[in-house]
């Protein structure tokens, strides 16, 4: 049985923008390439697209590099958690308040808690909240 991780956009982005990569994000990418499943909320797609758009506008990435990033990410084994959108009205909002997170970051935390999955993030407050909740973090 392959591993399953809730992965936020900061980690996913490091897989296509190499100057953001770390040894741990590369290790997780290796797991994903070997069959691990990446669980994301629907908002993940907008977060990734926006980050790539900003870098293209700043002329850090070319349009060709952005296309290559989208192609690379499209090959990932993704599982989109549709329940996260509905949960944002209640549980996710509560988590954001309790741990002083953005609603976006709390969405990843809510999915990891509900599904009892480890969380992969490069966001320090999100990782701290996940640890307080007893979750394994990247």
CATH assignment at residue 88: 3.40.50.1010
pLDDT (0 to 100) of residue 2: 62
39 domain residue, yes or no: yes
**Residue ranges for the chain with pLDDT beneath 70:** 1-2, 87
Is there a domain that residue 137 lies in? Answer: no
State residue 1's pLDDT score: 44
The structural domain count of the chain equals 1
Measured in residues, the chain has a length of 138
Name the CA radius of gyration of the chain, rounded. 15
Q: How many other β-carbons are positioned within 10 Å of the β-carbon of residue 80?
A: 12
pTM score = 0.90
Q: Answer yes or no: is 76 within a domain.
A: yes
Domain annotation covers residue 128: yes
Q: Which domain holds residue 70?
A: 4-132
Q: Is residue 138 part of a domain?
A: no
pLDDT at residue number 10? 92
- Residue 124, Cβ neighbours under 10 Å: how many? 8
Report d(CA 84, CA 81) in Å as an integer.
6
Cα separation values, 70 from 34, 48, 79, 83, Å: 20, 9, 16, 24
Is the residue at 22 inside a domain?
yes
How far apart CA 52 and CA 62 sit, in angstroms, is 10
């Amino acid at each position: 049985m392959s591993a399953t991780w809730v992965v936020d956009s900061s980690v996913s982005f490091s897989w296509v923008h190499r100057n953001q990569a770390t040894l741990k994000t590369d290790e997780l990418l290796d797991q994903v390439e070997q069959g691990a499943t990446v669980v994301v909320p629907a908002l993940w797609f907008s977060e990734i697209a926006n980050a790539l758009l900003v870098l293209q506008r700043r002329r850090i990435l070319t349009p060709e590099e952005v296309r290559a990033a989208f192609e690379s990410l499209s090959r990932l084994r993704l599982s989109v958690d549709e329940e996260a959108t509905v949960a944002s009205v209640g549980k996710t909002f509560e988590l954001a308040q309790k741990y002083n997170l953005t609603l976006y970051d709390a969405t990843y935390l809510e999915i990891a808690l509900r599904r009892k999955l480890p969380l992969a993030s490069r966001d320090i407050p999100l990782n701290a909240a996940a640890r307080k909740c007893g979750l394994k973090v990247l």
